[in-house]
Amino acid sequence: MTPRQKEQQDRIFSVVRDLVSKNGYEAVSMRSVARDAGVATATLYNLYNSKDGLVMAVLRDSIFKVTQFDRASFDNPIDLFFARTQAIYQDLVKNPNFARAMMKVFFNATETEEIVEIIARTRLKTDRQVIMDLREAGLLHDNVDSDVVAHRLTGNSLSGLLFWEKGLMPTRAVPDYVRQRDVEVFRSILNDKGLGLLG
């Protein structure tokens, strides 16, 4: 991507985030994004095919930006896990209207829609990797089912987001709610050596 293309993409994505945050997902149109971003409507269709494709590209970019960490800069997989999780919830607190609009779309989506892949399946894959890294480091009990644990961790995150999106939990409470449940999961699967990493 050239610097000019990157600048155009950043401008388009910024407009989409603003429109979704102010007016919700339903109010976004390719025409309004093109107008506000200063690009031709045809350009948007060429780049993203549809409104859904555009908004999903923005969501994917947002999640990528807040969860990319250099694995080598962390002492262990648990520290990396909590750094990623904290970054996600810091972004939620910083951009609650965008996050709420995306969660509304997510919780109304069918299992085959792209937003489910972006939010749930990507998180599940990342959580599975954490469990595999813990196993490889010799930090888990022998009988831990990695798939079940990954589903529990992903479920913790999604349940916190569901309670928040439905107005049952204040924004500021979501990070602590999820962290407490994640710590409970880790306490149940880590051996003595691994438990020392929780502090």
Instruction: Decide if domain 69-198 falls under CATH 1.10.357.
Output: yes
Q: How far is CA 81 from CA 7, 137, 152, in A?
A: 31, 15, 14
Q: Look up the pTM and report it.
A: 0.86
| pLDDT tens digits in sequence order for the chain, 199 residues long | 899 999 999 999 999 999 999 988 888 999 999 999 999 999 999 999 999 999 999 999 988 888 888 888 998 999 999 999 999 988 888 889 999 899 988 998 999 999 999 999 999 999 999 999 999 999 999 999 999 999 999 999 999 999 999 999 999 999 999 999 999 999 999 999 999 998 7
d(CA 149, CA 26): 35
Question: What residues does CATH 1.10.357 cover in the chain?
Answer: 69-198
CATH number of 3-55: 3.40.50.720, 1.10.443.10, 1.10.10.60, 3.40.50.300? Answer: 1.10.10.60
* Contact status, residue 44 vs residue 30, Cβ threshold 8 Å: yes
Stated length of the chain: 199
Question: What residues does CATH 1.10.10.60 cover in the chain?
Answer: 3-55
d(CA 11, CA 74): 33
